Structure 1
């Protein structure tokens, strides 16, 4: 088997419960990837600026499918940027106002935005995933940015029910996907992690049968179905385990790095 691209989700997959990874092991594997001309791609629902921070020495060499595919950057160059038009943004914000226990971050290319009325605890939670997060009087007034995603947070036990309600309320305007914990992303229909990987495959001439992908949540499903070699974490959601070809060790057992070593022939 020849793998030329390895795509990893971050939270719950590449990162352990402490929001970190075995940097020494990864650095050794990354050197091998470069020697074997294997591309390493970070594919996450999180913000580009947050994702870069995990790889300070090599961020400019890597490719990022950020914001669930809405923003794709390779070696510091923008490859793809999605956009939700302003009338849809307003319509979705109006619908979200009816979800009393939900909290909303509006995600754009330059920054993410949160309403001043949101509790401090939610804003602090948001800053973990969105290193550029601005408080604004209200989200209806956000302008001068390309907006491409809503990041929502709900009590964990409500997520299943909320996803159903959002599907019904939003129709085909945006697609709700679970991204783990109590988080739900509203993404542009058809713009997901697999779409982002395709942009990079075209850039590099990499075929589907040369792609390996790792994930744990609902927003990884398209990517896992797309990749020839697909791996779900032992700690992953049940539907993700069904979609993947193999279930591997959990994110707290270095599951991704163990499997990458195997893929590289170690």
Structure 2
């Protein structure tokens, strides 16, 4: 059965270690996708305003499952937005205050927000992934935006322990997922990348078995289980490799583009 949707994670998957991709090769493949009526979907934990900068010529043609599925945009139009209730935001901020080595970005539809007391190095790191990032005196004072995700950062060696602790204290209110490099996202239960793909499937009448998905981290797990054709990068996390049908070349070997070329030829 032919593939009708190709969904790619970005960091560690589509993007190489230099935060870029083989633009010439992708451009040729993208023309083939259009000819074959295959939808190309960017599915990432990152902010929509950051993701679209990777595809300046075609961003108005593409679909984005941004913020781990909390914000879905197709051809410049909003398809879906999640939301965390304000009382839960306050509760989580109180919980996070007990995590001494953690840093927090609060993600919303209009912008992401960071406390002005966070170290400059963290704010600089955050601005790579959140092109709209506002400094505020206190995250608990953020109003007038739809807030749908917490993006946390911890020392890499603490991540497994942090994930366990967060899962314990949050219960079923928010789900902690690893997105690589010491980053942990707190997402609304049931609103993940696979949920974002489902919103687009409804729009286009595409079945699960017609989707090819590519990922490398814990936040790709549901999407990989959901797609009929699922691929994990050889540089992917070991616990994610079990979710995919096939392990492919690494992100530094154009693994995604090599596999897309194969899929389009079949």
- Give the TM-score taking structure 2 as reference length: 1.00
Residue matched to 2:265: 265
Residue matched to 1:65: 65
Residue matched to 1:134: 134
Residue matched to 2:98: 98
Residue matched to 2:77: 77
SS at 1:20 equivalent: coil
Cα distance, 1:239 vs structure 2: 1.1
**Where do 1:18-57 residues align within 5 Å?**
18-57=18-57
Q: Deviations over 1:157-208 (max 9, x none)?
A: 0000000000001111110000000000000000000000000000000011
- Give the TM-score taking structure 1 as reference length: 1.00
Rounded Cα–Cα distance in structure 2 between residues aligned with 1:31 and 1:136: 43
User: Are 2:222 and 1:222 equivalent residues in the alignment?
Assistant: yes
Q: For structure 1, which runs of at least 5 residues remain unmatched after alignment?
A: none
Rounded Cα–Cα distance in structure 2 between residues aligned with 1:206 and 1:166: 35
Rounded Cα–Cα distance in structure 1 between residues aligned with 2:258 and 2:64: 22
Residue matched to 1:247: 247
Residue matched to 1:234: 234
Residue matched to 1:3: 3
**Where do 1:165-176 residues align within 5 Å?**
165-176=165-176
Cα distance, 1:216 vs structure 2: 0.1
**Where do 1:161-200 residues align within 5 Å?**
161-200=161-200
Q: For structure 2, which runs of at least 5 residues remain unmatched after alignment?
A: none
SS at 1:89 equivalent: helix
Q: Deviations over 1:82-134 (max 9, x none)?
A: 00000000000000000000000000000000001100000000000000000
Say what the alpha-carbon RMSD is for the aligned residues. 0.5
Q: Deviations over 1:49-101 (max 9, x none)?
A: 00000000000000000000000000000000000000000000000000000
